[in-house]
C-alpha cells in the first residue's frame, strides 16, 4: 500500500507530519511488517524543494521499518 503526504507552504521540518504523529508514516511502516494483512513494506522515499532548483531526494529499496531494524541489529 502506498502512503502519500504532500505539503505546500512555509519552510518547515517533516517530523510533525512524517515521524511524530501516532499514525505517522514510520508507525504505519512498522505495523505493515507486524501485520498478517496483504500490505507490503517495500521501499520508501522523501522528496522536497528547498533553496536549490533541484529537488532533495532520500530513497531506499528497503522499507523504513526494515531500515530501522537493520540499524538496531547488533551484528
C-alpha distance from residue 19 to each of 11, 15, 25, 58, 75 (Å)? 17, 5, 6, 15, 26
- Supply the pLDDT for residue 45: 80
Report mean pLDDT in 10-residue bins for the chain, 75 residues: 77 84 77 59 78 87 63 46
* Cross-strand bridge partners of residue 48: 56
Q: Distance between CA 68 and CA 53 in Å, rounded?
A: 31
Q: Backbone phi, then psi, for 66, in 5-degree steps?
A: -65, -40
What pTM value is reported for the model?
A: 0.54
Range of the domain at 56: 42-75
- Supply the pLDDT for residue 74: 41
Question: 34 lies in a domain?
Answer: no
Question: 51 lies in a domain?
Answer: yes
70 Cβ contact list (under 8 Å, min separation 6): 62
- Supply the pLDDT for residue 19: 80
Domain count of the chain?
Answer: 1
Question: 57 lies in a domain?
Answer: yes
- Supply the pLDDT for residue 65: 63
Amino acid at each position: 500500500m502506498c502512503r502519500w503526504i504532500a505539503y505546500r507552504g512555509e519552510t518547515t521540518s517533516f517530523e510533525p507530519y512524517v515521524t511524530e504523529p501516532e499514525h505517522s508514516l514510520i508507525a504505519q511502516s512498522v505495523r505493515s511488517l507486524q501485520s498478517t494483512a496483504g500490505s507490503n513494506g517495500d521501499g520508501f522515499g522523501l522528496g522536497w524543494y528547498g533553496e536549490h532548483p533541484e529537488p532533495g531526494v532520500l530513497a531506499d529499496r528497503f522499507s523504513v521499518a526494515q531500515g530501522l531494524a537493520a540499524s538496531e541489529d547488533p551484528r
